[in-house]
Amino acid sequence: GEEVAQTPKHLVRGEGQKAKLYCAPIKGHSYVFWYQQVLKNEFKFLISFQNENVFDETGMPKERFSAKCLPNSPCSLEIQATKLEDSAVYFCASSPTKSSTDTQYFGPGTRLTVL
């Protein structure tokens, strides 16, 4: 498709529950990025993929967060045992290459609320 698709739009979880978010990148884009936007608008890079391979995971909280991009499937970001501070909007972006001058196209985001 021509747009990055993210599902669900909203997700509500009780503290300690699992949350799983999905992202379908633009067709033909090899790179996928996940960002977390917290309430003060701050974006935090989480992880990036080159096709199904992790490219950069320096932003991922290793203990509870995991992500995958498998062939012929949407990419996913999973949070085990959610905490209140995980409440945020999670954006997925895709890009045709890793070049700095290639635009990262963002999806509409998934708003996660942890109660």
* 73 is an interface residue for another protein by CB under 8 A: no
> Which position has the token pair 């747009």?
3
In the list 51, 73, 80, 103, the residue contacting another protein (rule: CB under 8 A) is 103
Rounded to the nearest whole angstrom, what is the least distance from the CB of residue 34 to another protein in the complex?
10
**CA-CA-CA-CA torsion sign (63, 18, 70, 52):** negative
Rounded to the nearest whole angstrom, what is the least distance from the CB of residue 115 to another protein in the complex?
21
d(CA 66, CA 57): 10
> Which position has the token pair 């379908």?
24
Rounded to the nearest whole angstrom, what is the least distance from the CB of residue 45 to another protein in the complex?
4
d(CA 74, CA 97): 18
Largest CA distance in the chain: 40
In the list 40, 63, 71, 84, the residue contacting another protein (rule: CB under 8 A) is 40
Binding residues for another protein, total number by CB under 8 A: 25
Rounded to the nearest whole angstrom, what is the least distance from the CB of residue 5 to another protein in the complex?
11
* 55 is an interface residue for another protein by CB under 8 A: yes
* 65 is an interface residue for another protein by CB under 8 A: no
